[in-house]
Amino acid sequence: MKRFLGFVIKEFYHIFRDYRTLLILFLLPAIQLLLFGYVITNEIKDARIAILDQSKDEVTRRISEKVLSSGYFILDKNLSSSSEIEQVFRKGNVQLVLVFAPDFAKNLDKTGNARVQIIGDASDPNTANILVNYIQGILSNYLVSLNAEKIPMQITPEVRMMYNGQMKGVYMFVPGLMAMLLMLISALMTSLSITREKELGTMELLLVSPLKPFQIIIGKVFPYVFLAFIDACIIIIIGNTVFGVPVVGNVALLLFESFLYICMALSLGILISTITSSQQIAMMLSLVALMLPTILLSGFIFPVENMPVALQWFCRLMPPKYFITIIKSIMLKGNGFSYIVFETAIMAGFTAFFILLSIKKFKVRLA
């Protein structure tokens, strides 16, 4: 035990004397979270639009007013001819152009059918889509208010978004970032610190000593369990205090699941370090093989349900996917353990699998 303690202390010296490691450990989570929380939002405010009103009557004026007072749009320019449309898009000043056909009010009154064209800038497809949807919403609202007197029947949808009433993007980023950063710290840092000992040749010395291989490995990863755990807490606390992301469920359960995920990522880091002997390769493997799938294929940013079926199956092999499901379930829905038994079991399975594989690889290398 005393030997083990000495080992862990040495490992902490390595970490605290390397300011780059420290930066990655403690500054990165905070910065990433603030970046994701503030910069990358799906909510759109003050999009600049242009309006080409070829009718200029009471109805088009009222619709324009509604659009501009919605809070989503700011009028950049009133266009006078359709030739200007292409021009304003090219300049990139506006993200959307609204075109009212001539005799708008007259047609609406006589035939019950008036035409309005919504032109979006699809060089940014997501934003264009959202903006077009906003405008359509405003138009159909207006239509309903027009018809209110005429039609006695109406269907009034009452929408309520469960668990994230204001549809805040940060609710999605906090779990995703936790999955990503814990993976980064646990897998990348451990694989680097183990391969570093190999490069230095100190690993040989340790293996010649009376320390058992599993003691060496546990001694090396133990500090990272501790530090990753602190990071998990930092993310939860910043998410909660700065962005108001709640922890509805049991905090102890949340921490337990984070611990399990950290162990899974560490065992992956150990596996990486058993198959490589240089820090550079370990770094490439961790970044390419772990970070990209964590970001792209875990449902963190892109919903898994929208992917091609083959890719969906591939996503099921990504451990972070299950962790994200688990934390969303605990943090936002307040679910108990019985709801996440399946995901927990899968993560435990992954952990066991990686550890067994590492032991096997380790033995092959020693033989």
Partner 1 sequence: MYKPEAENIIIVKDLVKKFGSFVANDHLSFEVKKGEIFGFLGANGAGKTTAIKILCGLSYPTSGHLMVGGFDIYREREKIKRNIGYMSQKFSLYDDLTVFENIRFYAGIYGLRRNVIEERSRDLMEKLDMKDARDKLIRDIPLGWKQKMAFSVAIIHNPKIVFLDEPTGGVDPVTRRQFWDMIFEASHEGITVFVTTHYMDEAEYCDRVSIMVDGKIAALDTPEKLKKDYGAGSMNEVFLKLARVKVN
Chain residues that interact with partner 1, rule: CB under 8 A: 2-3, 6-7, 10, 13-14, 17-18, 200-202, 204-211, 366-367
Query: Alpha carbon 159 to chain centroid distance?
Result: 25
Minimum Å gap between C-beta 272 and partner 1 is: 21
Q: Indicate the residue type of 308.
A: P
> Are 295 and 180 contacting, i.e. CB atoms less than 8 angstroms apart?
yes
The nearer residue to partner 1, 14 or 61, going by C-beta atoms, is 14
Minimum Å gap between C-beta 198 and partner 1 is: 10
The nearer residue to partner 1, 201 or 303, going by C-beta atoms, is 201
33's CB contacts (< 8 A; 6+ apart) are: 173, 174, 177, 235, 238, 239, 242
Minimum Å gap between C-beta 205 and partner 1 is: 5
The nearer residue to partner 1, 193 or 294, going by C-beta atoms, is 193
Minimum Å gap between C-beta 286 and partner 1 is: 21
Helices (H), the chain: 2-17, 19-22, 28-38, 58-69, 83-91, 104-110, 125-147, 170-183, 190-200, 202-208, 213-241, 251-275, 279-284, 292-296, 309-315, 319-331, 341-366
The nearer residue to partner 1, 24 or 206, going by C-beta atoms, is 206
Minimum Å gap between C-beta 173 and partner 1 is: 35
Burial 307-335 (b: 16+ CB within 10 A, else e): beeeeeeebeebbbbbbbbbbbbbbbeeb
The nearer residue to partner 1, 93 or 202, going by C-beta atoms, is 202
> Are 223 and 266 contacting, i.e. CB atoms less than 8 angstroms apart?
no
Minimum Å gap between C-beta 202 and partner 1 is: 4
The nearer residue to partner 1, 14 or 62, going by C-beta atoms, is 14
The nearer residue to partner 1, 86 or 204, going by C-beta atoms, is 204
Minimum Å gap between C-beta 318 and partner 1 is: 35
Residue 276 φ/ψ region, left for φ over 0, alpha for ψ in the -120 to 50 degree band, beta for the rest: beta
